[in-house]
Amino acid sequence: MTTAQFTLSGWTWNPAVLVTGACALVAYVAAFRDHRRIGWFAAALAVFLLTLLSPLNTLADGYLFSAHMAQHILLLLIVPAFLLFSLPRTLSLAARPRVLAHPLLGWLAGVGAMWFWHAPALCNAAVASRPVHALQTVSLLVLGSLFWRQILAPREQERLSPPRAIFYLFSACVACSVLGIIITFSPVTVCSIYTMQSNDRFGMLQTIRMGWGFSPERDQQIGGLLMWVPMCLIYLTAILAQMARWFAQPASPTAKI
């Protein structure tokens, strides 16, 4: 199969994903009167659907570790962030039990999601088994939301103050980069299921290996690099946004000094 053919036929019409998306949209419209931020919700939904239905998903499903990594990042960092943006600004996320609101928990959720799912056994299981894969997808969305909640909660009071937020984001970035570095330079295979040639449902293996030049080693390298470099840039964007938030407070002559 050529790349062009694959782009057209590599879509998966996963009913569970479509139903979830539709339900989420209905729930959003029903739950909130204020629809001014529905654009963010649409963006979250679009990224969610594209991640799980497009050829990227097909590639991640047994062909390419790097495609899996891209999915992982989109589900953990992009979709939850857009979701939090879409919430009306008056909504309080002050959670009970209060432990859910603790920054350490958020940090561990974001970093843990990365490390946990890249233990070789779990990484393979998520590709080999449907239920584990579904569990992975859901957990990434939930853990990502817990992570971003500290930064992007709709109410200003429920977010970390900018200096703390920057420290939170920077340390999370370092913790994930270390894993990215390990995966990039590891002499052993992290997710061995991607190196097996048996499961070539689309007849794409030839194109991927020869045409695209993705040898298994390079595939793992790119996966690691995706986690190391572009993911850090997402954190960097968030850090710069925090700087902007910090400096944005308007100067008032009556401000207490």
Partner 1 sequence: MNEITTVLGRAGLLTAEQREHWKMAWLSTVDHKRIGILYMVTALFFFVIGGIEAMCIRLQLAVPNNTLLHPDTYNMVFTMHGTTMIFLVAMPVLFGLANYVVPLQIGARDMAFPRLNAFGFWLVPLGGILLHFSFLAGGAPAVGWFAYAPLNETPYSSQLGVDYWALALLVLGIGSVSTSINLLVTVLTQRSPHMTLRRLPLFSWMIFINSFLVILALPVLNAGLVMLLIDRRLDTHFFLQPGGSAILWQHIFWAFGHPEVYIVAIPAFGILSEVIPVFSRKPIFGYEFVAGSTVAIAFLSLLVWAHHMFTVGLGHAVDLFFVASSMLIAIPTGVKVLAWSATMVGGRIRLGTPMLFCVAALAQFLVAGLTGVSHAVAALDWQTKNSYYLVAHFHFVFVGLIVFAILGALHYWFPKMSGRMLSERLGKWTFWLMLIGFNLTFIIQHFLGLAGMPRRIYTYPDLPGWGWMNMVSTIGAFFMAAAALLFVWNLAASLLHGKLAGDNPWNAWTLEWAATSPPPHENFHELPPIRSRRPLWDDSNPDRPDPVVGTKWQAETTAPEKNKTAVITFIISESGFFGVLILAYLFYNATPQPGPDTHNLNLLKTGLFSLCLFASSFTIWRSEASLQRGRPRAMAGWLAATILLGGVFILGQGLEYWGLFQSGVRVSSNLFATTFFTLTGFHGLHVCVGLIALLIVLGLALAGDFKQGPSPALKAVGLYWHFVDAVWVLVFSSIYLLPHLR
Binding residues vs partner 1 (CB under 8 A):
119, 121, 161-164, 166, 170, 173, 177-178, 181-182, 184-188, 218, 221-222, 225, 228-230, 232-233, 236, 239-240, 243-244, 246-247, 249-253, 255-257
Cβ closest to partner 1, residue 5 vs residue 161: 161
Instruction: State in angstroms the smallest separation of the CB of 112 from partner 1.
Output: 14
Q: Which residue has the tokens 């991927």?
A: 208
Instruction: State in angstroms the smallest separation of the CB of 132 from partner 1.
Output: 18
Cβ closest to partner 1, residue 79 vs residue 239: 239
Instruction: State in angstroms the smallest separation of the CB of 245 from partner 1.
Output: 10
CA neighbor of 103 nearest in space, from 141, 158, 176, 178 = 158
**Rg of the chain taking only CA atoms, in angstroms:** 20
Cβ closest to partner 1, residue 79 vs residue 231: 231
Cβ closest to partner 1, residue 79 vs residue 173: 173
User: Distance between CA 111 and CA 167 in Å, rounded?
Assistant: 14
Instruction: State in angstroms the smallest separation of the CB of 83 from partner 1.
Output: 26
Cβ closest to partner 1, residue 131 vs residue 253: 253
Cβ closest to partner 1, residue 22 vs residue 229: 229
Token readout for 196 is 């097996």
Instruction: State in angstroms the smallest separation of the CB of 186 from partner 1.
Output: 6
Instruction: State in angstroms the smallest separation of the CB of 251 from partner 1.
Output: 4
